[in-house]
Homo-oligomer: A and B are copies of this chain.
Amino acid sequence: MTEDGTSTGPAHTGVTDQVCELREVLDRVGDKWSVLVMALLGDGPRRYSELRRSIEGISPRMLTLTLRSLERDGLVLRTVTPSSPPRVDYALTPVGRTLSAEVGGLIRWAEEHRSYIGRSRRVYDDGGAGDLPPV
């Protein structure tokens, strides 16, 4: 698939072509709140106010924007119940769940390698003069 055929890893099926598509997912998933919202919805449907209180730190504006964006992409389903106190529930769609699962892989990677990254940063920030500090 690659131009030179140098198969050195599993993460390059077409390089720049796929990266273009990847950008969309990363933009989708890389913003500040989307993943957090999806993680919460992974435990089941939630109301707007539940999400708002659970996340604590998110502004109503950003919560709405995030939910709208996820709904637009077909990852979250919005259900309005027009009662005397209006009620709106949000839930992951099946496709939303598959993305959530995929992101789960990244979570596990983060757990596994967070200490490695932490160590790397310490070494790097230490100046680079002593690249073999005592444990």
Contact = CB atoms under 8 A, between A and B. Distances in A.
A83 interface: no
A43 B2 CA distance: 8
Contact of A109 (B25, B38, B125): B25
Given A36-B19, A102-B105, A106-B26, A42 B12 contact: yes
Contacts of A54: 16
Interface in A67-113: 71-74, 92, 95, 97-107, 109-111, 113
A44 B15 CA distance: 12
A11 interface: yes
Nearest to A74: B120
A58 interface: no
B98 A113 contact: yes
A112 B2 CA distance: 20
A18 interface: yes
Given A12-B43, A30-B31, 10 more contacts: A6-B44, A8-B43, A10-B101, A13-B104, A13-B107, A21-B110, A22-B35, A24-B117, A25-B110, A105-B105
